[in-house]
Structure 1
Amino acid sequence: MREAIAIATLALAACGAGSGEGLDQNGQPTGLQPTLASIQDNVFTVTCAVPGCHGGTGAQQGLRLDPGFSAGNLINVPSPRDPNLIRVVPGDPDASFLIQKLQGTQTLGDRMPDGGPYLTTAQVNVIRQWIQGGAPTQ
């Protein structure tokens, strides 16, 4: 399944290669903003909330990232494997286990998305900005 998603992603990227249409000056989708709604639509739903990962009732580590579930499963929620690791600490991206997992600096488990392709630095920075701003849900 991951291979099919990766191939589809590469195919879509190749379709618009070179045009820059729909991308900002950093080459990122123009829709990605430091809000939960934007991160949900542009990152969590398409990258994380997929079958076998963090989507649906069988979500890994109980971390369901489907629309409507992300905030309640991330903000001030401890990791079930280590309650000292808080998934999202509003105002403190460096203390947020989510950022550690996305950057590969975590002390527990693997970097996410598992096996890659990993989020770009720009994508992670948008998530960092959202957390730094207090991780508002609206």
Structure 2
Amino acid sequence: MASAKSDRSLVVLQLSGGNDALNTVVPYGNGLYYDWRPDVRIEQDKVLKLDDQLGFNPSMAPIKELWDEGNVAVINGVGYPSPNRSHFRSMDIWHTAEPDGIGDSGWLGRTIRELDPKAENPLIGVNFGRGLPRALSCKGVSVASVGDLET
């Protein structure tokens, strides 16, 4: 069996369950951040600066190292046209990238299928977390899911 080898990886960090995006990628260059968040803001001298406007939370030092090496990108302001303010529908759209209907496969699952259409790689997708996110589901695509790194 021939293997389609690649040294490139895509790592998607989905921080669900109460993640505060503005305290993850901090808009320290915008005074409104400090005006409107007096009790939860990250002080400017603690921010791990990416440029003159944005920086990482100090707890993200390992990710900052990857940024400095050119191995991390930050994509802010991702959305979709005509948002409907439904958390549940928005999550469906995020997982499937199907804003106009109910998708039956996830955008990451479809990406894996495109990267390895003959399913030659036994381990091309991995999820760390309990359960398999809908974004990774796709007919004919196997994804390993690790619920607990300690066990």
The TM-score with structure 1 as length reference comes to 0.23
Q: Which has the higher contact order (CA 8 A, sep 6+)?
A: 1
Structure with max Cα Rg? 2
- Structure richer in helix, relative to its length: 1
The TM-score with structure 2 as length reference comes to 0.22
